[in-house]
Structure 1
Amino acid sequence: MWRLIKFLFVLCVLAAIAFVGYAYLGPIFMPDDFAPPVQQVVEPVTLGVDG
């Protein structure tokens, strides 16, 4: 039982290291995955002017 708990703990630690590495190194090696989607939005605006 102790082996299973130890294995799961080590697996969680490695997963955490992988996530942090992906967050820090991802934009350097995979910039397209971290780029925000760019889309032009055109909306008509009606100003309420009293007069």
Structure 2
Amino acid sequence: MRLLKIVVVLVILILAGLAGYAYFGDMTSDPREMRTPVQLDLGAPVPAQPAATAPEAPSPTTQPAPAAGATGAAQDDLD
């Protein structure tokens, strides 16, 4: 029973210490500039013709919105 009390007290102290470190600890990182060269041309063969694109689907025809005064609704009417 005494060992269980010691373990419980240690767990509580560890959790309190972890919470204190998270709250008061300095966890900011120092900003550093990093430059990495990037090679874009990896020597891949250039395709002879560009890939064929699928024809675009026709856009559906839409009706124009009715005029604001034609509905007879008040300006603040949300229904």
- Under TM normalisation by the shorter chain, which class is it? 0.5 to 0.7
More relative contact order, 1 or 2 (CA 8 Å, 6+ apart)? 1
The alignment partner of 2:25 has SS state of helix
Match of 1:23 in 2: 22
Bigger shift: residues 14-23 or 40-49: 40-49
- Segments of 5+ residues of structure 2 without an aligned counterpart are 51-79
The answer to which structure has the higher helix fraction is 1
Provide structure 1 residue ranges, at least 5 long, that are not aligned to the other structure. 28-33
CA distance in 1, matches of 2:5, 2:25: 29
What TM-score comes out, normalization by structure 1 length?
A: 0.60
Identity within the alignment, %: 27
What is aligned with 1:46?
Answer: 40
Normalization by structure 2: what TM-score?
0.42
Q: How well do the aligned residues superpose, as a CA RMSD in angstroms?
A: 2.7
The alignment status of 1:36 with 2:29, answered yes or no, reads: yes
- Say how many residue pairs are matched: 44
Q: Whose Rg is larger?
A: 2
For 1:18 and 1:26, locate their aligned partners in 2 and report how far apart those are by CA, in whole Å: 10
- 2:15 aligned partner, one-letter code: A
Q: 1:15 Cα shift?
A: 0.5
